[in-house]
Structures are given as C-alpha cells and as structure tokens.
C-alpha cells in the first residue's frame, strides 16, 4: 500500500473545503486500491467535509492536523482525541511548524500520540534530522506501539520551499527511521512533493508514501499527484 496524505494547514474554510471536494470529484482522479488518500483538515472543516465526502462517495479518508495533549476536562478551547475519535482516522503530530512555532517538545508529541491511539486514531508523526533518535525515543518512553503509527521524514529546508531533497537521500533517512521503529510502520517523505516528482520518492524501497502541503490545496495539483501514482 502507498499513502498520499494532504495537509491543508490553516487554509480553507468550510465553504472552500466543499468547493475543493467538488473540484476533485469533477476531475475524477484515478483512485486505485493500492493507494490510500488521506486529507488532514482544519478542525472546523471536518464534519461538513465528511458529510459531503459520503454524498460524493469518494475514497478519501480524513485526518486532523493537531490534537490536545490533555484528557477531556477543564481546558478551554482544547480539542481532545476523544472528540476527534468521532470525526477522523488519522492525525498529524509533531509537524515542524508546531515543534518550532509552538515550542512542542518530543515528550508532548508522544503524549498526543498516546491519546490518539487510545481513541483509535493513527498518529502521523513528523520527524526531522538531527533529532530522530530523541523524537522516536520519546514515543518508546511512553510505551507507544510504534507499529500503529505512521512516520514522516520532513526535512525543514524542503517544506514549502519548492526545493525537495534528493529521493535517494530521503530513502536513506527513511531507512534510519524504519530501523529505529523496528521496521513495523509506514515511512513517508514530505517536503515540496509535486505531481512531477512524487513517483521518484514513492519508488524508493523505504518510502511508503508522501505528505503534501502546498500542492494539496489545489484540486488539479492534488489529483495530478494521485494520477502520477496510479
Ligand atoms: C508540509 O508542510 O508538511 C509539507 C510537506 O509542505 P509542502 O508540500 O508545501 O512542502
């Protein structure tokens, strides 16, 4: 199985998300049974998007981009894993934007991953050099079953820059992540993936898919990525 995961970040309101879905539907990308397409949305879009997805009968699975590290309770404004359990199957944690801009530590990311798994949501854990050991060790410290997670190697220089790293280099780091996680989980690459370069990443033997930011926002570009792999 190969995975194509979109990350809209803080873009698209409900109306725009439904227009996007109509756009993808009209383009009729070649969804194939060996490619799983996952789209990670802003919290506010998920319920309406899921409903419209069901109406259109498209094989896209939804995810969120964040979750609280806290259990349900007196935490004004927090969105817990328990709440997300009714809405999504996946959730990104540890994206470099959150680790950097919101000072999220590897221990906090691990706490989020644990709560997600307790609510049957697959954590999509983003990782980067030179911190792989520490970022993965934090998961083992909380006894997290890493075989139930996805991992994404996201070199910071490649995110949103239009400058992906060399696929062979990405494959080498994916191999390191596979080794550190006992070869049990899917390993993806993220960073300026487009319809023109996606195949060069996914054909690498240690890379099971891609995480896409910028080119997930435009239906023609996202459909192009799906078609490039079908
Ligand atoms: C990302 O932010 O996870 C990402 C991969 O972004 P982009 O595709 O824009 O590089």
Query: Is the CB of residue 144 less than 8 Å from the CB of residue 163?
Result: no
**Tokens linked to 137:** 């060790």
CA distance 185 to 204: 16
* Helix, strand, coil in percent for the chain, rounding step 5: 45, 15, 40
Minimal-distance CA residue to ligand 1 atom 6: 213
Residue 64 pLDDT more than 90?
yes
CA distance 7 to 42: 9
Does the C-beta of 124 come closer than 6 Å to ligand 1? no
Q: Could you report the per-residue pLDDT of 3-59, keeping only the tens digit for each?
A: 999 999 999 999 999 999 999 999 999 999 999 999 999 999 999 999 999 999 999
- Tell me the average pLDDT across 113-123: 98
Q: What percent of the chain has pLDDT over 70?
A: 100
Query: What was the pLDDT predicted at 230?
Result: 86
Does the C-beta of 6 come closer than 6 Å to ligand 1? no
Query: What was the pLDDT predicted at 6?
Result: 98
CA distance 212 to 190: 6
Minimal-distance CA residue to ligand 1 atom 2: 213
Residue 145 pLDDT more than 90?
yes
Phi, psi of 68 (to 5 degrees): -70, 150
Query: Is the CB of residue 90 less than 8 Å from the CB of residue 121?
Result: yes
- Residue where the block lists tokens 């990670």: 40
pLDDT band at 101 (very low <50, low <70, confident <90, very high): very high
Of ligand 1's atoms, which has the minimum distance to the CA of residue 192?
10
Q: Which residues are catalytic?
A: 95, 154
Does the C-beta of 128 come closer than 6 Å to ligand 1? no
Report the 10 Å Cβ neighbour count for 121.
24
Q: Which H or E run contains 151?
A: strand 150-153
Q: Could you report the per-residue pLDDT of 183-229, keeping only the tens digit for each?
A: 999 999 999 999 999 999 999 999 999 999 999 999 999 999 999 99
CA distances from 120 to 82, 158, 220 (A): 9, 31, 32
Query: What was the pLDDT predicted at 160?
Result: 96
Question: What's the mean pLDDT when you consider all of the chain?
Answer: 98
Residue 122 pLDDT more than 90?
yes
């Amino acid at each position: 199985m190969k995975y194509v995961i979109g990350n809209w970040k803080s873009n698209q309101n409900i109306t725009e998300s439904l227009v996007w879905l109509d756009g993808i539907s009209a383009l009729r990308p070649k969804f194939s049974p060996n490619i799983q397409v996952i789209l990670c949305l802003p919290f506010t879009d998920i319920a309406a998007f899921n409903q419209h997805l069901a109406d259109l009968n498209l094989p896209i699975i939804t995810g969120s981009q964040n979750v609280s590290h806290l259990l349900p309770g007196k935490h004004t404004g927090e969105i817990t894993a328990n709440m997300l359990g009714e809405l999504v199957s996946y959730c990104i944690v540890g994206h470099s934007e959150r680790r950097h801009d919101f000072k999220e530590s590897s221990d906090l990311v691990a706490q989020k991953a644990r709560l997600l798994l307790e609510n049957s949501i697959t954590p999509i854990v983003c990782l980067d050099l030179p911190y792989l050991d520490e970022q993965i060790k934090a998961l083992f410290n909380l006894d997290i079953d890493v075989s139930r997670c996805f991992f994404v190697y996201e070199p910071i220089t490649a995110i949103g820059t239009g400058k992906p790293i060399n696929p062979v280099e990405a494959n080498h780091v994916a191999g390191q992540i596979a080794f550190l996680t006992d070869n049990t989980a899917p390993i993806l690459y993220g960073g300026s993936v487009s319809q023109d370069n996606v195949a060069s990443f996914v054909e690498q033997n240690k890379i099971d898919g891609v995480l896409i930011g910028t080119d997930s926002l435009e239906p023609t570009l996202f459909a192009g990525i799906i078609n490039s792999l079908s």
